[in-house]
């Protein structure tokens, strides 16, 4: 998914689809990357995104918002500061809320990104892996593969100590239902309101 693709755009000319840096598939219909730029928009269109999870506190650029609106993509923003000394309680709450959006398949296909696609994105994906019962060494290896030389001990410690049991307060209120006879596709529905929308979208 992360390679550059060429498509024909005329008799002789070719248009290049450029993914954002650090782009990769996390799971089916879940992607991660650095901050997308206008040069990446054509590539993002091929993903048929329904949602974007943005992990930075800065406002989303107007040009990016226009692209999302034109593609009917919902934006979920969780303002996690990028500083190394980021407060653990604040980060824990934001990661928890982002996980609730991420595991709701109504929001798929979804792209997760921060600025570089390394630390904040790595923490969210790492906590998702813990929810998927990955061993900690595999979780750390994936984080370090994207963070590279800029791997942060504080992020690894956060992932290690993140308690996935706190997600139960969310999961207890959610039920999975199969839509249609014989369908294998799951949809995530709230117990009290089958079409209730998450309230953290920016528009």
Do residues 112 and 102 touch, judged by C-beta distance below 8 A? yes
* Distance in angstroms (rounded) separating the CA atoms of residues 125 and 102: 10
Are the beta carbons of 15 and 42 closer than 8 angstroms? yes
**Which residue in the list 114, 123, 127, 135 is annotated as catalytic?**
114
Dist. CA 172–CA 117, nearest whole Å? 31
Is residue 123 annotated as a catalytic residue, yes or no? no
Distances from the Cα of 171 to the Cα of 12, 18, 100, 132, 187, angstroms: 53, 37, 9, 14, 13
CA distance 87 to 47: 34
At a CB cut-off of 8 Å and minimum separation 6, what does 7 contact?
14, 15, 17
Can you read off the two tokens belonging to residue 150?
């800029």
CA pair distance 133, 14, nearest whole angstrom: 43
Phi, psi of 20 (to 5 degrees): -60, 155
Q: Which sequence positions are flagged as catalytic? A: 114
């Amino acid at each position: 998914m992360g390679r550059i693709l060429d498509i024909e755009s005329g008799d002789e000319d070719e248009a290049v689809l450029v993914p954002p840096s650090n782009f990769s598939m996390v799971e089916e219909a879940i992607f991660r990357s650095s901050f997308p730029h206008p040069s990446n928009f054509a590539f993002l269109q091929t993903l048929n995104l329904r949602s974007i999870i943005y992990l930075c506190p800065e406002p989303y650029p107007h040009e990016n918002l226009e692209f999302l609106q034109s593609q009917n993509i919902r934006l979920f923003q969780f303002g996690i500061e990028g500083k190394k000394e980021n407060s653990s309680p604040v980060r824990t709450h934001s990661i928890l809320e982002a996980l609730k959006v991420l595991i709701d398949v109504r929001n798929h296909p979804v792209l997760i990104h921060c600025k570089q696609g390394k630390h904040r994105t790595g923490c969210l994906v790492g906590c998702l892996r813990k929810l998927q019962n990955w061993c900690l060494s595999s979780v750390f290896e994936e984080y370090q593969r994207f963070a590279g030389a800029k791997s942060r001990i504080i992020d690894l410690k956060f992932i290690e100590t993140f308690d996935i049991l706190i997600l139960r307060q969310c999961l207890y209120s959610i039920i999975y239902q199969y839509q249609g006879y014989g369908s294998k596709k799951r949809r995530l529905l709230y117990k009290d309101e089958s079409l209730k929308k998450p309230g953290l979208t920016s528009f």
